[in-house]
Structures are given as C-alpha cells and as structure tokens.
Structure 1
C-alpha cells in the first residue's frame, strides 16, 4: 500500500465541501485501517488566548503565540484540540511523526503554548480529518486531492491564506491550471 503519512493533501478546485475547500491537510497517519490528518490552513475566528481562557488555563497575553488563530482541523472530534508542532518530547499524549514533527492532544502542551517551554513552532487545531480504510485512496482516484510530500515551512512559516497556493506551486503548477476533470488513460 502506498502510504501518505507526512504528505499534504491539496484540495482540488472541484472539492467544495466548506470544511475542505482550498484546504491543505497534513497527513499524520495512514495505514490499512484508514488515515488521519489535520487541515492546516482554515483559521477560525478564535485565537490561542481565547481558547486558553475558555479552558481556564493561565497564559501570557504578551506572547506572540497568544495571538495565533486556532484552525479548524477537520470535522472529527471538533471539540478536541490537536497541536501539530516541531519535536518537543515530554508531553502526556504525543505521537512522533516524520520530519521532526509531533502531534499532541494532552492538556499539558496547552499550558506551555505562551511560555518559553512551548515547542518552537506549532499549529493548534480543533478536530481532525479522518478516512476509513480505502476511502482516501478512492478520493484521490476521484480527483478530489493532489498529494505531495509535506514541507514544514508551508505548515509553520506561511500565512493561512498562502498555504494552498504555495503547496500547489511546489508541484510547478498554478492553481488556475487545475481542472475539475480526472484523467484516466
């Protein structure tokens, strides 16, 4: 089986589901049981500080991290936080990924986000995208997604508005060149 872990799914223009329109999704895990990913470019109208305040977690309002937008990570468990971050072991519930990345779901990372103990770079998302066995592969065949290797700088160093176009540009194509038609030989 071709694994898509540590790849981006770039939504094709015809994918008009509001959760995934013009989305870039980082695939954290992909195996014979299905796939799990986090949409990295759909910001919510919620800042990290707002979420920490709602959870009654003390934070440093002067920290640049407090002003970062929380993302809509996907439709599954949208009331649960997922922190995609540069490697920093020691959290209660983390999964090591490739490329020096981790995803952490435990509350202990939230306490650190606006402090010097925070991971160097992170995205805080509510929810994740999930696919059952064979579902993602079928969506790719159906021309819903382009698949490219993930690049950390796209995840962390670009504005949310820049990520979709930048991800397509890594393939040497411009978004207007994408068609809604699937090619089958």
Structure 2
C-alpha cells in the first residue's frame, strides 16, 4: 500500500454500477495493509432519527434539525454507526486522527439527550474492503478520492454530497460519462 486513504472520501465513478455503491460518497475511517473501513454518507434512508431512538427505547428530545439517517454500507446494515467530528471517548469507537465512528449506545443516548457530538451523521451499516481490494478498485478507476472536509460531510444535505464532492475536484458531474442524474 503506497498511502493511506483514511480521512478521505471515495467518490464513485459512473462505471461503478453496484446497487450499494452507484453514485456513492464513502468516508474512509481506516485504511491500511489489512484493508479499509468506510461509511457511505450520501444515501438517505426512510427511517428518521426519532424512529431509530424509539425502536431502541431511547427517550429523545424532539429535534427538527436532526440530520437524516443514511445507508452506511452493506455490512451490518441493522447496526447504527455514528460518524462524528469530535474526539470524545465513547464505549466503542474507531478513530483516525480526525474523526471517529462510534457503535455504542452511549453516543446515541447522548445525541438523543442533546449532549452528543455537535456534528454527526448516523449511518446504518458500513463498507469494508479486504487487503488490497480497495487498491484494485482504485486502479480500475472505480473511485475518485478527495480529502474529507467537515462542511461537505456534516453540513451538506446527503443528496447533495455526491455533486459537492466532485465539485471539490473541479468536476462537473454532467461531464462524466454516464454521470447525469439518476
């Protein structure tokens, strides 16, 4: 592996037609010689944050400004992964030098109570790559990469993140072969 893509975004090229990854923007949490872990951040799901908390029996303060839940990837889709920009310690977190992904209920309880991370995205599932798999996909031009920026991941609406990520690279999505709106 030549360089880690931790704290980068993968942006799916139009040729990537896999149902899970077509037009996906994936935040790479970890990437090393053993593989990679990422969270898709641009595919909203029908479930709301209030419904998720209700299903988990977590009392929640009403928040009309809660970010929509997103499909985080095909692995462990029934489990919540909270991508957040703070380095606060939670019961079960995976961190890089910038952001963390937490899977423990304590972060959800804090979010529900209004004391959680200021910037967060709740994702259902995650994406994983085995050793060398992501490098092969990059070599076959399945993905573009762009450094992650909090404004793009936490402030942009999920459905706007694909075009915004391409714009970070100076690319007009309509100019990509097959890149028109789906």
Taking structure 2 as the reference length, the TM-score comes to 0.92
Structure 1 runs (4+) greater than 6 angstroms displaced: none
Matches within 5 A, 1:19-168: 19-60=20-61, 62-64=62-64, 67-99=66-98, 101-168=99-166
Q: Secondary structure at the match of 1:78?
A: strand
> How many pairs does the alignment contain?
177
User: Which residue of structure 2 aligns with residue 171 of structure 1?
Assistant: 169
Q: Which runs of 5+ in 1 are unaligned?
A: 181-185
**Shift of the alpha carbon at 1:32?**
0.5
Q: C-alpha separation between the residues in 2 aligned to 1:63 and 1:34?
A: 37
CA contact (8 A) 1:64 1:114 kept: no
**Shift of the alpha carbon at 1:64?**
3.2
Which deviations, in whole Å up to 9, do the C-alpha atoms of 1:20-47 show, x marking residues without a partner? Answer: 1111000000011100000000010011
**Shift of the alpha carbon at 1:81?**
1.0
CA contact (8 A) 2:58 2:112 kept: no
Which deviations, in whole Å up to 9, do the C-alpha atoms of 1:122-170 show, x marking residues without a partner? Answer: 0000110000001000001111100111111110000111100010011
RMSD of Structure 2 on Structure 1 (CA): 1.4
Q: Secondary structure at the match of 1:4?
A: coil
**Shift of the alpha carbon at 1:68?**
3.0
Cα distance 1:88–1:63, how it changes in 2: closer, same or farther (>3 A)? farther
Quick check: which one's strand share is greater? Answer: 1
User: Which residue of structure 2 aligns with residue 9 of structure 1?
Assistant: 10
**Shift of the alpha carbon at 1:88?**
4.5
Q: C-alpha separation between the residues in 2 aligned to 1:170 and 1:90?
A: 31
CA contact (8 A) 2:48 2:68 kept: yes
Taking structure 1 as the reference length, the TM-score comes to 0.91
Q: Secondary structure at the match of 2:160?
A: helix
Q: Which runs of 5+ in 2 are unaligned?
A: none
User: Which residue of structure 2 aligns with residue 183 of structure 1?
Assistant: none
Q: C-alpha separation between the residues in 1 aligned to 2:177 and 2:6?
A: 25
